[in-house]
Amino acid sequence: MTVAARKADPQGLDPVDRRIVVETQGGLPLCPRPYHAVAERLGLAPDDVMRRMRRMLAEGAIRRIAAVPNHYALGYRANGMSVWDVEDARVSEVGRRIAAFDFVSHCYRRPRHAPLWPYNLFAMVHGRTREEVKAHVAAIGAAVDDAARAHDVLFSTRILKKTGLRIAG
């Protein structure tokens, strides 16, 4: 790809990259040569599909290629969004520390929205029961110690829609 073509798209994906992502993000076909099947559907060479996916993976547009488990079906019924009010100067350090726990699947800094929403650090905590999640959150609390002024944990009571992060075709 030329530099000019790359610059045209702020995400670093050209139209062919996008078509590949759109075609595969809902799942690869479960057949012996899935990338060949995708290539055929898109009218591309299989090597080109794999080479582009490898590049997107290396550049981070694709985070990972995964057999994505449905944690809910596997017994992880309690999903708690733990939220923390951490002083701005320490939020990056604390965020990295929280992200290191293996029961945390996502850890993001987001803006506060005072007075309704005082929290600026979000960590998604997974467990089989609420008690397990609460114990995990307590472990995070002990690790961050005085850096967090307040925290809360929001349990999900219902999943109303879930399709996985997708890019628009």
Partner 1 sequence: MATRSHHELTELDRRLLDSFQRGFPLDPSPFAAIAEAVGSDEETVLAAYRVLQDEGFVSRIGPVVAPHRAGWSTLAAMAVEPAALEETAARVSAHPAVNHNYEREHRLNLWFVVTAPDEAAGIVALDEIAAETGRKVIDLPLIEAFHIDLGFPIQWN
How far is it, in rounded angstroms, from Cα 118 to Cα 40? 50
Query: To the nearest whole angstrom, how small is the minimum distance from the Cβ of residue 22 to partner 1?
Result: 9
Q: What is the rounded distance in angstroms from the CA atom of residue 30 to the CA atom of residue 32? A: 7
Residue 88: CB atoms within 10 Å: 9
To partner 1, the closest distance from the beta carbon of 86 in angstroms equals: 11
Least distance to partner 1, CB of residue 152, Å = 7
Least separation in angstroms between residue 166's CB and partner 1 is 6
State which residue, 105 or 143, has the beta carbon closest to partner 1. 105
Cβ proximity to partner 1, 4 vs 159, nearer residue: 159
What DSSP character marks residue 117? B
Q: Which amino acid is at 36?
A: H
Q: Which is nearer to partner 1, 4 or 58 (CB)?
A: 58
Say how far apart CA 133 and CA 126 lie, in whole Å: 6
Q: Which is nearer to partner 1, 138 or 156 (CB)?
A: 156
CB 99 within 8 A of CB 92: no
